[in-house]
Amino acid sequence: MASILALCDDHLTREEVLLAELLFSLRQVRDAFFQRNLDVLPTLRMQQQQLAQKAIEMASARDRFCAALADLLGVSMQEATLRTAAQALPPPARDQLLQRRAQLAAMVREVDQLCQHNAALLGYARGFFACLFAGRTGADVSERYDRQGERHNGTYGPLLEARV
């Protein structure tokens, strides 16, 4: 039982560290936007690229964790979850593991929510500037420019722009 708890504890710690770094980075992006400190965005973009790489590495580590946990529990990899591991532990350790699992899930929800808020904020700003520039240039709000800088009328989304 101690090996199950140690394995889960190590895995949860690595997941929590990555999520904390993601939250910090997402908050920095939000704060930079609100504080009009756009000069820091290239640095934050590089930081997020590094975090994306860490997330890919974490996915591999998660697979290794599930394989090791499956071996310890004597179950398939699909059944090797933190909840299953917790059920194999005595009550004090079980409760501790379930609590950490719940905290991890809360962090994941917070990362997702912050990502959505940042995306909405940036989407709003993009729409605002499109309207602002259209008003300044006398262009129709539905006019867009393609990657070559040519003006096009109509509503263009990513799929439509790909055909232009």
Q: Each residue of 86-112: pLDDT tens digit? A: 999 999 999 999 999 999 999 999 999
Confidence at residue 151, expressed as pLDDT on a 0 to 100 scale: 57
Tell me what pLDDT residue 160 has: 38
Give the domain extent around 15: 2-163
Share of the chain above pLDDT 70, in %: 78
Tens-digit pLDDT profile for residues 14-27: 999 999 999 999 99
3-state secondary structure of 152: strand
pTM over 0.85: no
The tokens for 116 are 């959505």
Cα–Cα distances in angstroms (integers) from residue 1 to residues 62, 122, 129, in the given order? 20, 48, 58
How many independent structural domains does the chain possess?
1
Rg of the chain in Å (alpha carbons): 23
Contact (Cβ atoms closer than 8 angstroms) between residue 142 and residue 155: yes
Residue 153: its pLDDT value, please?
A: 56
